[in-house]
Amino acid sequence: MRNLKDLTYGIVGLGIMGGSIAKAIRENILCQSGSTGKIYVCNRSTSCLTQALNEGIADKAFTSNEYEKMLPECDFVYVCLYPHATIDFLEQNKKFFKSGAIVTDISGVKGIFEKSLPEILRPDVDFIIGHPMAGGEKEGYVNSTAKMFINHNYILCPLPENKAENLEIMRNFISEIGFTRITETTCDIHDYKIGFTSQLCHVIACSLVDSAKDEQITAFGGGSFEDLTRIAMINAPLWTELFISNKEKLVGHIENFENQINKFKNAIKNEDKDSLMKLMEESREKRIKMGSIRTVAKK
């Protein structure tokens, strides 16, 4: 099996996620004794490339019209672009990948990859579908950090054509850069569950903020509003693409939420204390169970 500390890593897209992955590789893998590995980075704008070189994070930097120079040298490629841009990148540059390379992504939707990959990738390139469950509200390389992934969850969606050895390399890599839990599932299950735990939450947070008739109302905040709406400080172009790419599952979750919030509205409107108490008691018990499931999964 190939040794992580001796691989050449390529990072395509040097924003907060790509930058954090590069920094985590440098700090946790390539710092090991006897390491011969390298990090190559590629991005459309060049300021972050210069910064990554000056900080000693990257060994070489390439602009977005130089993929043909970078990809043939990379054993392990992280594509840190929006979902459809990732597919376009794979299709347009498939001839440049090194034979035997491991390629992976960070996208928040997976069904579109499962459908597209057989048609756009060479059989000697192993694309492993993955989703690092970490991030931040602020964007750009300047906000990236090697510590971003510590104690977070990583979702893998192995395909039948993925090589067992490469999947094991991927699992080892994920653990080395800080993740403490790896969940393996199908693309369909990923999109259903992420539609609820992530995308629906962003829709609700944005809706709550937009429902305010008085922007000064937050002067009366005690923490609840702040906790609920932190994720409303959203990257609109990215999340628009995620919402629409997963529209069937997300709309289903929104409709279920609408039904539930209507139960609360009607109970309050009708001063139905028994129904209101029951709704809150049931949600409390359900939330406790959800928390225990997450705790067991971490172990």
Percent of the residues in the chain that have a pLDDT greater than 90, as a whole number: 81
What is the rounded CA–CA span in Å between residue 49 and residue 60?
9
Q: What gap in Å lies between CA 10 and CA 89, rounded to an integer?
A: 14
Cα separation, 10 vs 22, in Å, equals 9
pLDDT given at position 299: 38
pLDDT at 295 over 70: no
- The SS3 call for residue 34 is coil
Which of 106, 112, 139, 134 shows the shortest CA–CA distance to 198? Answer: 134
Angle, alpha carbons 197-198-201 (nearest 5°)? 85
**Distance, CA of 48 to CA of 62 (rounded, Å):** 11
Residue 174 and residue 150: Cα distance in Å, rounded? 10
Task: Tell whether the model's pLDDT for residue 297 goes beyond 80.
Answer: no
Q: Are 50 and 78 in contact (CB under 8 A)?
A: no
Q: Where in the chain is the domain with CATH 1.10.3660.10?
A: 190-298
Whether the predicted pLDDT of 200 surpasses 60: yes
Look at the block and give the residue holding tokens 């490469």.
Answer: 166
How many helical (H) and strand (E) elements, i.e. helices and strands, does the chain have? 12, 8
Give per-residue pLDDT as tens, 22-40: 999 999 999 988 899 999 9
Q: Which of 134-143, 196-205, 247-256, 258-267 bottoms out in mean pLDDT, i.e. has the lowest?
A: 134-143
Closest CA relative to residue 108, chosen from 24, 33, 206, 201: 201
The per-residue pLDDT for 215 is 85
CATH 3.40.50.720 domain span(s) along the chain? 4-185
pLDDT value at residue 298 = 43
Provide CB contacts within 8 A for 5, sequence distance 6+: 29, 30, 32, 34, 35, 36, 37
State how far the Cα of 199 lies from the Cα of 202, in Å rounded to an integer: 5
Is 3.30.930.10 the CATH number for 4-185? no
Q: How much is the pLDDT for 294?
A: 56
For residue 60, the one-letter residue type is K
pLDDT in tens, 180-190: 999 999 999 99
The answer to whether 140 and 13 have CB atoms below 8 angstroms apart is: no
48-74 tens-digit pLDDT: 999 999 999 999 999 988 999 999 999
Q: Do 41 and 11 meet the contact criterion of CB atoms below 8 Å apart?
A: yes
Choose between 292 and 146: higher pLDDT.
Answer: 146
Name the residue with higher pLDDT: 219 or 244. 244
Contact indicator for 124, 94 with CB cutoff of 8 Å: no
Q: Using CA atoms, how far apart are residues 106 and 24, in angstroms rounded to an integer?
A: 15
Rounded Cα–Cα distance for residues 276 and 176 (Å): 47
Nearest of 297, 263, 9, 23 to residue 143 by alpha carbon: 23
Task: Report yes or no: 103 and 125 within 8 Å, Cβ to Cβ.
Answer: yes
pLDDT digits (tens, 9 = 90+) for 142-156: 999 999 999 999 999
Task: Say which residues have a Cβ less than 8 Å from residue 224's Cβ, sequence separation at least 6.
Answer: none
Angle between helical axes of 16-28 and 47-54 (0-180°, round to 10)? 10
Would you say residue 296 has pLDDT above 70? Answer: no
The answer, as to whether pTM is greater than 0.85, is yes
Q: Give the class (CATH, top level) of 190-298.
A: mainly alpha
